[in-house]
Structures are given as structure tokens and as C-alpha cells.
Structure 1
Amino acid sequence: MLDKYGRTIDYLRISLTDRCNLRCVYCMPEEGIHQIPHAEILTYDEILRISQCAAELGVRKIKLTGGEPLARKDCAWLAGQLKAIPGIEKVTLTTNGILLSEQLGALTEAGIDAINISLDTLDPELFRQITRRDSLDKVLEGLEAALACPGLSVKLNCVPAVKKKENFVAMAGLAKKYPLHVRFIEMMPIGYGKKFPFQDEESIKAILEEAYGPMTLIEERFGNGPCHYYKIEGFQGKIGFISAVTHKFCSQCNRVRLTAEGYLKGCLQFQEGTDLRALLRGGCTDGELTEAIRSVIWEKPVSHNFYEAQTEQDEVRAMSQIGG
């Protein structure tokens, strides 16, 4: 399935819930958000029906996100059902890692292909300040368990909320110690992220080169998204950057996003999209559902414009409500 700009759209990100067991300062307020009532969240049967139609249009990769996807019961069961859909080649998961060690067995049995763990610091006090929770030990337990699973691809996502050189160095050092890729994700001006000072890719790269030596750009791709990677001599894993602002990659964007309440979005920045839940619960046929998905893909915006003047079309919800 191509959009009107000729991009192949083969990647669907599905938010299972807006709920989360952390309260990261760039994602939601300390008291949490007004949670979507359970009856308004897509059922797993509805998610599967949407995914089947998306697969018929050429979607080949699915990412389960949240909120925190493992906070929703039977996430592993859903992953297994998604893997069984004809045409779906990979099902992956992004998690904060707190519940990972206890659910990892079920996830691997379901055939999960890769797990991305969100972690911004290895310092317990800084972790507490960022997440407003004291759970770093559980995240590290989940990371160790995932790394021990043969054949499971493990990546670590770090949002540079802590502007300390030693924090960047410590996080990148995990790719030296372990066979995993550490990716630095630029803070995007969405929701509470708008309040945080921006840290660009080049400044982080300079810090890492000072600590570890030259970083060599590599052409190989590791996963579904736009991350570009560098290798460092002596490292088991790679260092990646997802730089939506300073290295705008919209021309290669291959994804659409499904919120937990069933709204299919073509671009993270803009509100426009289609309410698939309303169609499903209104008794639509599979043909009508497929056509609605096709329309969102075809009308996918050409690019984001994060640092241009805001318009009434801009997304107003927090990342946890959209699906990170």
C-alpha cells in the first residue's frame, strides 16, 4: 500500500492502553491522566480484525505500545494471534520493562520478534526524578532477562531528559557491555515534551566520541523504523539515533498509528485520521473497514512541522494517549 507521496506503508503501531505504571515527566502529570473508560478501549477481537484488514493492504510489521502495553492483561496472547495473521512478518513490543521479567516467557512463546525497552538513566535517583517511581531494579531485571533469551532482538530507547554528559556515556556504555542497540530519541514537542529543552543528535554524538572514540555510520538497518546507527570499536551493540527534528525522516516514513480507543492516525503531529472503533461498533463490513484504513494511508501527511507555527490541526493529546 502506497500513500499519495509514493511511500510504502507497511508498519502499524498499535496502542493497547493509555495506562502506565510510571509517570515520566515528559509524558504525563504526576497525578496521571484522565484514563479512557475500559468500554471505550478497543477489544482484542477488534484489534485483530483491524490488523487483518491492514495486512491485506500490505502491513507486514506490527508494534505493540501504550501507555504500557504489558499493563493490559493477556498482551502475550494478542501478540501470538497477530503473528498468526497471514502477511504479518514481525510483531514487536515497546515497554518500560517493569513487568517484562514476569511476562517474558509468555511473550517469547507467542513468538515476539523484538523488544524495545524505554530507559533514560541508570542512576536510581535520576530514574526516580524522571519517572516519579522507584522501579529501576525491575527495569534492569527485565533487561537482563530479555538479553538472556536466544534469538530475541533487544533495543534500548533513551529520551535525553537528563542533560548530563555522564548519563549519555553510561547509557551508551550498555551497548559495550551487552549485545544490544542503544538508541537516543530526540524529545519531540508533543504533549508534555514541549516543556523540555531540546538536546540534538550532534551534541550527544560529540559527547560519546569524546568518551569512546570515533563513531562510524553504518548502512545496515536494525528494525522497522527510521533509526540510523553507528558502530564504535569494542562495542558489542550499536548506537542509534532517532532524530525526528534535526534529521527529519518523513520522506521515508512507513507507519500509521492506532490509538487505544481505535483512532487511526497517519502522522504523530496531526489530529486527522479516522475513528475505526465507531465503524466497527456501527456494524461495518470488512470491505468498509479496509477502505477506511486505505484512506488514512493514502491521505498520510507529507511531513510533520514540529517547530512551525501551531495550527488547529495539531495533536493536543499527550503521548500516552496517542501511543508512543
Structure 2
Amino acid sequence: MNIIDQLIPADTAPGHRISGGGAPPVDRLNRPLRDLRLSVIDQCNFRCTYCMPRDTFGADYPFLPSSERLSFEQIVKLAKAFALLGVEKIRITGGEPLLRRGLESLVEQLAKLTTASGKPMELALTTNGSLLAAKARSLRDAGLDRVTVSLDAVDDAVFRQMSDVDMPVSRILEGIETARAVGLAPIKVNVVIERGVNESQILPLVRLFKGSGVAVRFIEYMDVGGAGGWSNTKVITARETREIIESEFPLIPIVMGQQMGTAVNYRHTDGAGEVGFIGSVSQPFCGSCSRARVSADGQFYSCLFATHGTDLRPWLTDAASAEQLALTVHSRWIQRDDRYSELRSTQRRPGPGKLYPTVRMSLVGG
């Protein structure tokens, strides 16, 4: 019997057991745990208006000191515990994860992990791309499989307006090209579209990456922690974005059965690449969400819009095993019933321009 099976009472419901064969636990809505997002730092060198607006995240903002961030050793222990539970993919996030010193060492350790079924763990990273050109090679050599880059405009002025940093788009594009050249593929580019700000960039972004092997995914403007000025009037729906693209580029839906990821994907009719749409507001996908998130300070969140987490640090000491940590996560997951995006339109908001006190995006990752 697997060690972790010995920790589960014999009368536990079969669907809620931790299986030595790798079957993941399921929550109250029958959603399995398959993906882990690990935030390694809550700081970022951008001040994107929809995530970390400068008027909130200014020079005096109390980000986590390095002493309060999980160590690489603790992060690897977390990853091992989630692997025991059936997780098949780990995504490193932030903040901006490439700001974490020595990240290649962590990637090298995580890349050695296998899933509960014995397959190599899929290892990805999300970045704003500003440091990617310098680090792509070392990350690939360490074992990173692929990257997703956030890029909301190709026009420098619009890009600066969205990111609130004085940096040319060419620097991000250099990072994408370097990542492609070293084999961090397939590369995805995530674009948040905010009405009245960067909808003019939809077609230029498609033109830029069409035929390059880079898939562009357009994301509806969400009310994530940090987006203090969010309003649904600023949302351009996935359908609207697709109609804008199809005014120039005909698309064909990619039929993949029941949607399991976040994006609904289309391909160009001439076969020159893919475009995806993430309709978090207009077409919520809570019913298929299999993601767990652990913040840079060791809090376990079962939803991007959670208001509180479960502190995993007591199980990250030498006195606790990865199996005991897995049991703690298992117990929390099977109680999960989060579906914020599906309930968004029916819930009362705190007031005009205000948000529920959800965990900030920079701490837990997107």
C-alpha cells in the first residue's frame, strides 16, 4: 500500500481517496485537481493598470520580504505533495517570476519530478517577457518546457499606457524570439483587452504573430485582486474580439470535445497558426477548473478570486512529510466549491468601482 493511502481512513469515499495510482481527488463539483500554479515572488517590474496599478502598488507598498517567501526547498516539497495527488502540470508564476534570484535552480529541481503515474511533470512559466531574452537559454537548460508571455499591445504608446513602464515593445518581442529559438515551445502570448484602452491592438497582434508558431490568446478584462477600477463596461467580450479578428482573418473553431482548459481555440483558415479566447466574464469556465494556487508565502488558494487561503507552512517544516502535506491539500480540495465567475453577475458588489476583497493577483499569480 502507498504511504499516502495509509493516511486515509478506510471508509473514505473512493472518489475522495488519495490514490497511489495517481487518480486525483475531486471537489464538491466533481472537478479533479490536475494543475498547480506556484507563485515564487509577489513583486513585479511592471505596473499594469488592471493588476498592479501604481497608485496602489507604489514605492512604499509592503511587498513580502525575502524572509517571508517560501524557500526553493519548501516549494519543491509542495510540488512533490501535489504530484502525489495527481497534478500533471506546474506553472511558475508571480508577480514577475524572473525577478526571483536563482530561479533556474528551482526549475532544475522541479524538472526532475514525475507525476503519480510516472510521466515527466509538465513545467511552464508565465512572464511579462522583459527579462526573458537574458534568461531563456538557462531556463531551457534547467528543464523548463514552455513559456507564456503577457503582451497587451504592439504599439509602444499603448503598451506603456497598459504596463505603466518606460520600456519598448521590442524588448518583449526579443524575449519571445529568444524563447522560441532555444526551444521553449509552444509559446503563447496572453493579451488582456480593456475597452477604450487597447482594443486597437487586437488586429496588429494577430498580424504580428500569424504564421510565427506563437499562439495569441485574448483575455477578457477581469475583476482580479488589484484591479480597483474594474467595471463590466470596460469588458470587450471574447465574441466581440473574435468578430474584430474575423473582419480580416477568417477563423475555424478547433473542436476538442468538452472544454478542459481556459481558452476556446480557433485556427486560421490558411493553417497559419491559432488564436484563443478566454471569456472569463462572458463565458465562465468554473465547471472545468482543475487549478490549485499556492502564493509566494505558502497560502493555498482554490480559486483566483478567493478571499482567503489555507496556510501550508506548518507542513513545510522538516518534521512533516510530503505525504502529510498532500493529505492536508487533499482535505481542503474535496471541500472546494468555488465558482466565483459563474456567480459574478448575481452577487451584490460592495459599491460603485469597488471589488470583493479577493487575494491580490501579484501574490497568487494569474
Q: Could you tell me the TM-score, scaled by structure 2's length? A: 0.82
**Structure 2 CA distance, aligned partners of 1:256 and 1:165?**
31
**Structure 2 CA distance, aligned partners of 1:15 and 1:224?**
22
> Residue 3 of structure 1 contacts residue 298 of structure 1 at CA under 8 Å; is this kept in 2?
yes
**Structure 2 CA distance, aligned partners of 1:37 and 1:122?**
34
Q: Which runs of 4+ in 1 moved over 6 A?
A: none
> Residue 10 of structure 1 contacts residue 59 of structure 1 at CA under 8 Å; is this kept in 2?
yes
**Structure 2 CA distance, aligned partners of 1:8 and 1:14?**
18
Q: In structure 2, what residue type is equivalent to 1:36? A: L
How many residue pairs align between the two structures? 321
User: Which residue does 2:214 correspond to in 1?
Assistant: 180
Deviations 1:242-274 (A, max 9, x none): 111211111111110011111011111122431
- The change in CA–CA distance for 1:252 and 1:317 in structure 2 (over 3 A counts) is closer
Structure 1 residue 224: Cα displacement: 8.0
**Structure 1 CA distance, aligned partners of 2:29 and 2:338?**
7
Q: State yes or no: 1:156 paired with 2:193.
A: no
Residue pairs, 1:84-123, within 5 angstroms: 84-87=112-115, 88-123=120-155
> Residue 53 of structure 2 contacts residue 227 of structure 2 at CA under 8 Å; is this kept in 1?
no
Deviations 1:101-126 (A, max 9, x none): 11111111122111000000001111
Out of 344, 357, 363, the residue aligned to residue 306 of structure 1 is 344
Q: State yes or no: 1:29 paired with 2:53.
A: yes
**Structure 2 CA distance, aligned partners of 1:315 and 1:278?**
25
Structure 1 residue 53: Cα displacement: 0.9
246-255 or 27-36: which moved more?
27-36
Q: In structure 2, what residue type is equivalent to 1:178? A: S
**Structure 1 CA distance, aligned partners of 2:248 and 2:262?**
26
User: Which residue does 1:208 correspond to in 2?
Assistant: 245
> Residue 268 of structure 1 contacts residue 315 of structure 1 at CA under 8 Å; is this kept in 2?
no
Deviations 1:299-322 (A, max 9, x none): 2224113332248x9543321122
User: Which residue does 1:126 correspond to in 2?
Assistant: 158
Structure 2 residue ranges without an equivalent (≥5): 1-23
Q: Match of 2:76, SS?
A: helix
> Residue 50 of structure 2 contacts residue 226 of structure 2 at CA under 8 Å; is this kept in 1?
yes
**Structure 2 CA distance, aligned partners of 1:284 and 1:315?**
32
> Residue 189 of structure 1 contacts residue 306 of structure 1 at CA under 8 Å; is this kept in 2?
no
- The change in CA–CA distance for 1:166 and 1:271 in structure 2 (over 3 A counts) is closer
Q: In structure 1, what residue type is equivalent to 2:248? A: A
Once superposed, what is the RMSD of the aligned Cα atoms? 2.2
Q: Match of 1:153, SS?
A: coil
User: Which residue does 2:315 correspond to in 1?
Assistant: 279
> Residue 117 of structure 1 contacts residue 155 of structure 1 at CA under 8 Å; is this kept in 2?
yes
User: Which residue does 1:5 correspond to in 2?
Assistant: 29
> Residue 270 of structure 1 contacts residue 314 of structure 1 at CA under 8 Å; is this kept in 2?
no
Q: State yes or no: 1:247 paired with 2:283.
A: yes
Q: In structure 2, what residue type is equivalent to 1:320? A: S
Structure 1 residue ranges without an equivalent (≥5): none
Q: Could you tell me the TM-score, scaled by structure 1's length? A: 0.92
Q: What is the percentage of aligned positions where both structures have the same residue?
A: 32
> Residue 253 of structure 2 contacts residue 266 of structure 2 at CA under 8 Å; is this kept in 1?
yes
User: Which residue does 2:172 correspond to in 1?
Assistant: 139
- The change in CA–CA distance for 1:310 and 1:281 in structure 2 (over 3 A counts) is farther
